[in-house]
Structure 1
């Protein structure tokens, strides 16, 4: 069990990577009480220094090894693209640092298992940055359903499509950069289905490929022996409503806005409809609850979060592995 970080000391974050997602999460780390941005590392000293100046970070490094070796850091947020996550997370773990790894945690379930096994062996905390699972409205939906507000859950619907035209240089289509709708987008509806229905008994997958060989659009039908089902889809080129819907025997819960970062919930229970607002507010990008969960776990001396357990992360990646295999999508080096 890692030594708990005292309540009277801030959690000191290192940011590995200086791209767009790093900027969004860093801004919410800076807003989070009891957390501070202490260092950043990028592939060039200039890029790291620029990032540091924008967020008032005291130390910047021109390579990742220097960052993870910084003795004044408690946790490393791995904010690069997913083909790099495995090696960079292991680098941080081997340096004795806790890690929050941007989703998907790795390219496949085997890599994710290796990272989490290494973290346990090193007695350090590791978590996938699946921020949707820490969102308070998603938690509210889970509690309402557990309390029977919509009866027994019978079906889940979720889709995520960006409407981004084919561009072989964009990360969504670039196989060398882990391109494809499933890993970048589909992980959200698949996780949503998992949260409210659990592991499916049967999976049917269909989809289309981009000229680069990446999966462009994918639809998955999940079946369960008791008759429940899930319809989950994702698309890089096609725009979608990006809503999530949980259907029950007495009503339903529907997300407002993008389901992975909802702006509200609509709940129908026994014919009565209720609107629940977003408790986070528009000033935050929505990563604050994820940051708070990491801090809570570090202060409790945990190696994994009960909200985003390692087994779930690996199992969900396994479902994506199977879907990619059915479509014939394989990344360089796999």
Structure 2
């Protein structure tokens, strides 16, 4: 019998109150602001970044009304409801704590910080201040991710055995580039590896054991990593990442009664294939994202944030604080294990 996939439960952008967003940083923020303006009722009304000329150009290109000369001025402005932090990772903690102290809700680009300790500082501060803190793990808020959660919760896959995911690409070695710079929070795990590790966590929860193998670059950052994550109930997760190897960027959940494939690139809007039945009598069904192009999917997290604020939440129900900290602890341990290996070994 052909299996069926449940429908995605969308959050209607019109159902969420419109907020005024202040943007800090001008890198990936451009894609986020464009998706915000095209697919939600939210509006980026101000931007601040280190280079004023570049910031002004960003504002013109992405229809942002106001440029602040400093990040503090933006954070303290009464014109801002939510601060979106899209700077290099090492700056996340201090900026987030400053915004939280000013009573602002915050969406912080992944990784939320440089370590589990810093992530705990941020989430605890948000809870104490009564403001919403979210990591911009946009994959969690895609329609396909809602379908994945429903399939896993339904038991349709049987006993879960293996969850695997990967995200890797080839980045030329440029020592001063942020991906290769230890000072700028470089390395495969923090930039790309957080996606497959987060996917495994979303299905299996916090691991009972972490085993990591990989390679390091001459600058000391991890260039690749394969991370095995054991769960308390006996299932295994495998997360692979690299900035020296091209990968298919897919994810899969395998159980005793079936398997669910998230098409590549699984980090953005893509599709799903559910397969059930015995080896000699399998049946499959496929769902393809009907409307969202790749980076359009970044808008889903903004709509979710606005809805959660309206509900009085201080953390995301699909990506709670404890899990954010746990994922960072997994990355901390993987980075520690790989750093102990010989360079390029």
TM-score by length of 2: 0.89
Does structure 1 residue 17 correspond to structure 2 residue 25? yes
Note closer, same or farther for the CA distance 1:202–1:87 as it changes in structure 2 (3 Å cut): same
Instruction: Compute the displacement of 1:127 (Å).
Output: 0.7
Counterpart in the other structure of 2:188: 181
Counterpart in the other structure of 2:112: 105
Candidates 302, 305, 308, aligned match of 1:297: 308
Unaligned runs of 5+ in 1: 1-6, 330-334
Counterpart in the other structure of 1:4: none
Counterpart in the other structure of 2:234: 227
CA deviations 1:27-63 (Å, max 9, x no partner) are 1111233211211111133222221111222211121
CA contact 2:259–2:274 (8 Å) conserved in 1: yes
CA deviations 1:200-224 (Å, max 9, x no partner) are 2222111110010000111111223
Does structure 1 residue 243 correspond to structure 2 residue 250? yes
Q: Which moved more, 1:223-232 or 1:158-167?
A: 223-232
Instruction: Compute the displacement of 1:285 (Å).
Output: 2.9
CA contact 1:32–1:291 (8 Å) conserved in 2: no
CA deviations 1:83-133 (Å, max 9, x no partner) are 110111111112111100000000001111111111222221111111111
Does structure 1 residue 324 correspond to structure 2 residue 335? yes
Distance in 2 separating the partners of 1:236 and 1:292: 31
Q: Which moved more, 1:224-233 or 1:190-199?
A: 224-233
Counterpart in the other structure of 1:307: 318
Note closer, same or farther for the CA distance 1:225–1:43 as it changes in structure 2 (3 Å cut): closer
Note closer, same or farther for the CA distance 1:119–1:226 as it changes in structure 2 (3 Å cut): closer
Does structure 1 residue 59 correspond to structure 2 residue 66? yes
Distance in 1 separating the partners of 2:183 and 2:82: 28
SS of the aligned residue for 1:239 comes to coil
Candidates 142, 150, 158, aligned match of 1:151: 158
Candidates 47, 66, 86, aligned match of 1:79: 86
CA deviations 1:224-250 (Å, max 9, x no partner) are 354321121111111111110110111
SS of the aligned residue for 2:268 comes to coil
SS of the aligned residue for 1:285 comes to helix
Unaligned runs of 5+ in 2: 1-14, 341-345
Does structure 1 residue 47 correspond to structure 2 residue 58? no
Instruction: Compute the displacement of 1:263 (Å).
Output: 1.0
Compute the RMSD of aligned alpha carbons. 1.8
Instruction: Compute the displacement of 1:162 (Å).
Output: 0.7
Instruction: Compute the displacement of 1:166 (Å).
Output: 2.1
Instruction: Compute the displacement of 1:149 (Å).
Output: 2.2
